[in-house]
Amino acid sequence: QQQVKQSPQSLIVQKGGISIINCAYENTAFDYFPWYQQFPGKGPALLIAIRPDVSEKKEGRFTISFNKSAKQFSLHIMDSQPGDSATYFCAADPNYGGATNKLIFGTGTLLAVQP
Amino acid sequence: DSGVTQTPKHLITATGQRVTLRCSPRSGDLSVYWYQQSLDQGLQFLIHYYNGEERAKGNILERFSAQQFPDLHSELNLSSLELGDSALYFCASSAWVGNSPLHFGNGTRLTVT
């Protein structure tokens, strides 16, 4: 299955709160899981990425948690700020042995952080 | 700024017409990817070129074609346009392949009337 299922579709969080976005996949060939952030009128920008050999990766206020057995991964945004309001996409990359970088994107989560 | 330049930003055209979207990758990046973003389909991979050669095809219609030139810029050609082709078209580039970060441009918004 070449799909990545993302939830929730939208999320409202108070300033200072924790935003959590979840993704699930079926294809065990996926071996690279990036998260992208997109602001209106802009292209997606890489936020953070993880490989399945680690269970967690943290960069500043952003953390990816990865559960290989459950085939799920999630993005946690700590101390959410109004400037974090954007659409977030999870993605997965099948292992083509380095031949290509064919990301499969989730459907996106529109995050609104209220001041 | 990602360093990826896409032109034009907006394009309005009629059904049946043909358009060309242009992408200049980041300096030094050899790979160019094209993605389509629409409300019903989300972000869909269309095609990947590496150093002038086609590497992979995704959900790209036969009416669409692309190429990457010796100076590494790329063009996406859309022909016999239909209303359903209205979408945002993104170009992305990366330095190499094999899970390297993609850097997206700001897209070309195509409206077919």
**B36, B102, B103, B108, best to mutate vs chain A, most A CBs in 10 Å:** B102
More confident residue, B91 or A52: B91
Nearest to B92 by CA among B59, B68, B61: B68
pLDDT recorded at residue B98: 64
Assign A1 a pLDDT band (cuts: 50, 70, 90).
low
Task: Name the DSSP letter for residue B33.
Answer: E
Cα gap A107→B82, rounded to integer Å: 23
What's the pLDDT score for residue A95? Answer: 64
Confidence of residue A98 (pLDDT cuts 50, 70, 90): low
CA–CA distance from B112 to each of A86, B16, B33, B47, B53 (Å)? 27, 9, 23, 21, 30
How, if at all, do strands B10-13 and A109-114 pair?
unpaired
Task: Please tell me the distance in Å from B98's CA to the nearest CA on chain A.
Answer: 4
Per the prediction, chain A carries an average pLDDT of 92
Contacts of A112 (CB under 8 A, 6+ apart): A10, A11, A12, A13, A85
Nearest to B97 among A43, A99, A105 (CB): A99
Sign of CA dihedral B37, B40, B42, B45: negative
**pLDDT tens column, A26-70:** 988 888 899 999 999 999 999 999 988 899 999 999 999 999 999
CB distance B76 to B106 below 8 Å:
no
pLDDT at A96: 60
Query: Smallest Cβ distance to A101: which of B4, B31, B44?
Result: B31
How much of chain B exceeds pLDDT 70, in percent?
97
User: What distances in angstroms separate CA A24 from CA A10, A41, A68, B8, B93, one per listed residue?
Assistant: 16, 27, 10, 35, 26
Q: Do B101 and A34 touch (CB under 8 A)?
A: yes
Q: Residue A96 and residue B104: Cβ atoms within 8 Å?
A: no
Please answer yes or no on whether A42 and B106 come within 8 Å at the CB atom. yes
Q: Are B26 and B89 in contact (CB under 8 A)?
A: no
Phi and psi at residue A82, to the nearest 5°: -55, -30
Reported as a single tens digit per residue, the pLDDT across B4-54 is: 999 999 999 999 999 999 999 999 999 999 999 998 888 999 999 999 999
Contact A46 B103 (CB under 8 A): yes
**Distance in Å, alpha carbon of B111 to nearest chain A alpha carbon:** 15
Give the Cα separation of A65 and A22 in Å (integer). Answer: 9
DSSP for residue B79: -
Q: In the predicted model, what is the mean pLDDT of chain B?
A: 94
